[in-house]
Structure 1
Amino acid sequence: MSLNDVFKIAGSGMSAQSVRLNTTASNIANADSVSSSVDQTYRARQPVFATAFSQAMEDQGFNYDNPPSDDAGLGVKVLGVVESESPLRQEYEPGNPMANEDGYVFYPNVNVVEEMANMMSASRSFQTNVEVMNTAKSMMQRALTLGQ
């Protein structure tokens, strides 16, 4: 792995954490939305990540006689965003204009406390990747000054 690969890996981590931050922001924004049916209610979403290393190992049919090439350390991939399967909140509010014929409204399955923890974790991970890039940049600049 060369020092240039550090930028690709940290960049993929920053991109993945941006997806995580956007998903978390969407969840928080829709936490108090109301619906009259289960099918129309917003469901919490979470991104699914995979390391490019494990994907490269699968692509190459990794075994101990055939180790992966140097391209294995490629960073993080966002495989997609999935909806949570946890149950929705159902509350009896017959005066609510969004209530169904039985007087119930449905709220998303978003836990705001968990989402805030996700947001803090994602922002710290993003910042860590920025620091990795800055450190690699400093190392490259110092290597250029060795011959002076």
Structure 2
Amino acid sequence: MSMFRLFDIAGSAMTAQTIRLNAVASNLANAESATSSSGQPYRAKQVVFRAMPMATNAQHAQGVEVSAVTEDPSPPRMVHNPRHPLADANGFVTMPNVNVVEEMTNMISASRSYQTNAEMMNTAKTLLLRTLALGQS
């Protein structure tokens, strides 16, 4: 595998993790919103990854890409707050199905993955520059 292929692989992972971070940010921003623009409670977004072939030759390098951004099918949270304007007859408000602890864990995981791929790109760049320097001596 070419050293330059590492940049493609790490770049694809960084792009995928950026989309994941955006989904987490959206989920956290709407965690306490009783309604969305559609009038229904916000549904948490989940990012689905899949392997993506990076080359057509015999060396099967694979990157990653986002295959879908789906809505979490889990039921919404029911919060008892009879004073809320959207409360039902029993005093319950339908809230988003966002679990803040899970979202914070996803954010840390995506950030670490992004950071690891950025460091891999920097290491590959350093190795390529040292290889060029050997050729100059």
Q: TM-score, normalised by structure 2?
A: 0.88
Which structure has more relative contact order (CA 8 Å, sep 6+)? It is: 1
Q: Any gaps of 5 or more consecutive residues in structure 2?
A: none
Divergent runs of 4+, >3 A: 100-103
What secondary structure is seen at the aligned counterpart in 2 of 1:79? Answer: strand
The one-letter amino acid of 1:8's match is D
1: CA distance between counterparts of 2:110 and 2:74? 22
1:102 to partner: Cα distance: 4.6
What secondary structure is seen at the aligned counterpart in 2 of 1:31? Answer: coil
* Equivalent residue number for residue 81 of structure 1: 69
* Equivalent residue number for residue 18 of structure 2: 18
1:93 to partner: Cα distance: 2.3
Note if contact 1:32-1:107 (Cα within 8 Å) is conserved in structure 2.
Answer: yes
1:99 to partner: Cα distance: 1.9
Q: What is the root-mean-square deviation in Å for CA atoms of aligned residues?
A: 2.2
1:130 equivalent to 2:118? Answer yes
- 1:1-148 pair list within 5 angstroms: 1-35=1-35, 40-53=40-53, 69-70=57-58, 72-147=60-135, 148=137
Q: How many residues are aligned here?
A: 134
Q: Which of the pair is proportionally richer in strand? A: 2
* Equivalent residue number for residue 65 of structure 1: none
1: CA distance between counterparts of 2:93 and 2:85? 9
Q: Any gaps of 5 or more consecutive residues in structure 1?
A: 57-67
